[in-house]
Structure 1
Amino acid sequence: MAGSGKHFKYLILGGGVAAGYAAREFARLGVKLGELAIISKEAVAPYERPTLSKAYLFPQGAARLPGFHVCVGSGGERLLPEWYSEKGIELILSTEIVKAELAANTLTSVAGATFTYDNLIVATGSVATRLTDFGIQGADSKNIFYLREIDDADKLLSAIQARKNAKTIIIGGGYIGLELGAALKINELDVTMVYPEPWCMPRLFTAGIAAFYEGYYANKGIKIIKGTTAVGFDSDANGNVTTVKLKDGRVLDAHIVVVGVGARPQTTLLKGQVAEEKGGVKTDGFFKTSAPGVYAVGDIATFPSKLYKELRRVEHVDHSRKSAQQAVKAIKAIEAGRSVEEYDYLPYFYSRAFDLSWQFYGDNIGDAVLFGDADPSSSKPKFGSYWIKDGKIVGAFLESGSPEENQVIAKIARLQPPAPDLRQLQSDGLSFASKL
């Protein structure tokens, strides 16, 4: 059996963004031939997953592998499959692990192959929440899509290309919903977004920020239905979805449905073997779990935030990259009898859609102040927001900022300076951050 009984000094479980960045860090710090392997259920080497909801779906100039293998997402070297071979790193692809026995340092695949290790980095990420999980009638119809892996994107792409101006319903108003709404509209589909919240991206956006994006999308011809959600689907004789039934009684015609209602961390393999907290695997500031030699990174890790002095779990590509690098640094430091600084992470989120591009740093709690031109019909809108708590600026958001301006709002979110009068802050806008 391929791979059965193989032993590795370092083993990375999961083949997403975190795995690729961890591999690069191992190579940078020194790894010998045959010491490191990556086990992934996907058939391709680690790639920049955010591309799937953006350029991968574009009708012209679409991104394709090998163009977006890691680590191009952060401006680094692109790690082609050959790179792993050259570094003596084994890629064990199309291999799903179904059992982890941490006390025995052993992983077992669905085919029965076993792998043992000295150090394990678990980078299994999240799995998309499916409507079938809630027993929604007709949710297993054909042409209802989720987007997490390259195979998902390929299936969606086939549906997009199969029918011009297809009636497309997007369920969900978060990251996936907004980015896919833009990508599908660029493909000239008839797009309607449906979400239960009073505005889009409610976990991050204020009502004022959301009003801009909803207006901008409406101007692009995207229909938005808020305050309700899908409760059922009808399909034709071939099992293809034909309608989406909403909780408010409306029925929408549909040829394609894309669902983006969140994701949950894939921690099932570790259940009962490691300490858990806040829906993830509890780690220290080096991403070490309660199991000896086992580290957890990315979406699944609940780690101590140095900045906010509390445990946090963060689902975003930036944290996936940085937590993976931190875990590798910690492993190599222990071997060398050295120490590394604890993880000191400034929360960072970003998105791109149409001609828009926003960045957010810090915490979105307390009072929010909106500044700048947030008119969705402006030819060049540019606006931002600060969040103020206990008299300090704790978070900052900027749409259409330059690289230098984005660095400025990152700095203010980390420094947390005293906030002036809210009216003054609104009037000063970006210049307040620039003066610091």
Structure 2
Amino acid sequence: MGRAFVYVILGGGVAAGYAALEFSRRGVGPGELCIISEETVAPYERPALSKGFLLPEAPARLPAFHTCVGANDERLTPDWYKEHGIELVLGTRVKSADVRRKTLITAMGETISYEVLIVATGARALKLEEFGVKGSDAVNVCYLRNLADASRLVNVMQSCNDGNAVVIGGGYIGMECAAALVTNRIKVTMVFPEAHCMARLFTPKIADFYEGQYESKGVNFIKGTVLTSFENDSEGKVTAVILKDGTRVPTDMVVVGIGIRANTALFDGQLAIEKGGIKVNGRMQTSNSSVYGVGDVAAFPVKLFGSDIRRLEHVDSARKTAKHAVAGIMAPEKTADFDYLPFFYSRVFSFSWQFYGDNVGQVIHYGDFLGGKFGAYWLDKGRIIGAFLEGGNREEYEAIAKVVKRKTTIKDVSEVERRGLDYALRSSQQVLPESSGMIVERPMCNWHAAAGVAVAISISAFAFWYGRRRRRW
């Protein structure tokens, strides 16, 4: 029993949807392409899961956030795939892969062969058990990586109104879920081992601002320690968490966001692995010429960093690597090496920030940390290699992206510190080449216009799915 395709995308996350759209636009024929996914739904925009999906009023639900609406593009519903002759093989786990024979074997024993494979297997959430803590299977312990996780989290939240929650982890998932919990009238305690939140990106000064905003909404931070065990009731429900320093924190639910690990196991020993992911070249091609890697699983050369290999865990990277891989497959002679500007963003409460580049070297802070419009530049060897801005508009975000993309040379550090955002605005007047690959966030669409009036200001940042202007993630 088996099937054969010209192109197979393994994985059904964000990257798969964007790759499918690119294939369709480049003339892939009916029956030539299939997507294999363990999830039972067509590819969707994962950022919704920690934002619009968790809203207490008018929450985002499928089919509203199927790819590729996050980039202000077509919405690829299951019917779209049928109309374009693209086969969705959903609810299917691949148990083994043989890149030499160009075959995949599913858990049900079916053989699926291909001529070209795109590995878009993404990453999985790290579990507490991997750090020696047992009990993640309790009914009120939640992770957040896929639609099933998000649905479970919503159900648990709804049973805990006016209750208490402990969030383990101070990164993206921890911060966004904590804000969602507060929005759902749940008291939150955040626990993480670092000295401040978002330690991989934020400086202490930037982190102080956001922690202060969370604290003003009742969030309690316990930093510099980790969870060691749970207390459970007779039904197995967690009633308290015990921390390494001996602190006991009573709770009605727990949300765990302690990082992710790329899903490379199927290809260990078959493809080159680096930086925890599958190593690819500038066209997203792996060490096997018929296999490409995209999204969270791909470790690719970043020109901005001197072609240093990086694995970037962000939706923007997933979208852009997917499209570039398809370009490299369908038109290799016209496809240059990927020139990507690393980009990260988040929205919590009424705040919204964007970051471009790398956060190493000398830091220059600027702006109004009391008023909520501020930022930072990172300088290395006299050049701007990273920039952060909270509360900016489109022109301002474009400006900081440009100075990073150009690695703008700094002759007078004190001038940059004094002028702050204006330095980027004035330095960005020169037009970049169209091939620059610069990514700038755009407004998104309103899927439920009536919801905007009802949602309180404290949750408006989460309601980007329902905002009155289109916003590109």
- Please tell me the TM-score bracket, short chain as reference: over 0.9
CA contact (8 A) 2:35 2:87 kept: yes
C-alpha distance in 2, partners of 1:232/1:7? 48
Aligned to 1:318: 316
- CA drift of 1:370 comes to 1.0
Deviating above 6 A after TM superposition, structure 1's stretches of 4 or more consecutive aligned residues are: none
CA contact (8 A) 1:282 1:302 kept: yes
Aligned to 1:143: 140
Aligned to 2:350: 355
CA contact (8 A) 1:21 1:325 kept: yes
Superposed CA RMSD in Å reads 1.0
Aligned to 1:407: 398
| 1:116 paired residue among 113, 116, 131 | 113
- CA drift of 1:420 comes to 4.2
C-alpha distance in 1, partners of 2:302/2:61? 36
State the identity %. Answer: 51
CA contact (8 A) 1:132 1:140 kept: no
| 1:160 paired residue among 132, 157, 160 | 157
C-alpha distance in 2, partners of 1:61/1:403? 27
C-alpha distance in 1, partners of 2:129/2:137? 6
Aligned to 1:227: 224
Aligned to 1:206: 203
SS in 2 for 1:404: helix
Give the letter aligned to residue 365 of structure 1. Answer: V
Given the alignment of the two structures, is residue 368 of structure 1 paired with residue 363 of structure 2, yes or no? yes
Aligned to 2:330: 332
5+ residue gaps in structure 1?
none
Given the alignment of the two structures, is residue 261 of structure 1 paired with residue 258 of structure 2, yes or no? yes
CA contact (8 A) 1:358 1:400 kept: yes
CA shift digits 1:253-310 (9 cap, x unpaired): 0111000000000000001001111111111101111113100111111111122121
Correspondence 1:119-130 to 2 at 5 A:
119-130=116-127
C-alpha distance in 2, partners of 1:316/1:363? 14
Correspondence 1:238-277 to 2 at 5 A:
238-277=235-274
Aligned to 1:417: 408
Q: TM-score, normalised by structure 2?
A: 0.89
CA contact (8 A) 1:138 1:235 kept: no
- CA drift of 1:142 comes to 2.5
CA shift digits 1:175-198 (9 cap, x unpaired): 001111111100000111111000
Correspondence 1:190-201 to 2 at 5 A:
190-201=187-198
Aligned to 1:218: 215
- CA drift of 1:317 comes to 0.5
CA contact (8 A) 1:285 1:304 kept: yes
Give the letter aligned to residue 314 of structure 1. Answer: L
- CA drift of 1:223 comes to 0.9
CA contact (8 A) 1:283 1:303 kept: yes
CA shift digits 1:82-106 (9 cap, x unpaired): 1111100001110111111111111
CA shift digits 1:347-386 (9 cap, x unpaired): 00001111111000011110111111112xx4xx111100
CA contact (8 A) 1:141 1:233 kept: no
Given the alignment of the two structures, is residue 342 of structure 1 paired with residue 337 of structure 2, yes or no? yes
Give the letter aligned to residue 364 of structure 1. Answer: N
- CA 139–85 in structure 1, closer or farther in 2 if over 3 Å, else same: closer
Aligned to 1:283: 280
SS in 2 for 1:318: helix
CA contact (8 A) 1:405 1:434 kept: yes
Aligned to 2:130: 133
CA contact (8 A) 2:160 2:253 kept: no
Correspondence 1:26-41 to 2 at 5 A:
26-41=23-38
Aligned to 1:433: 424
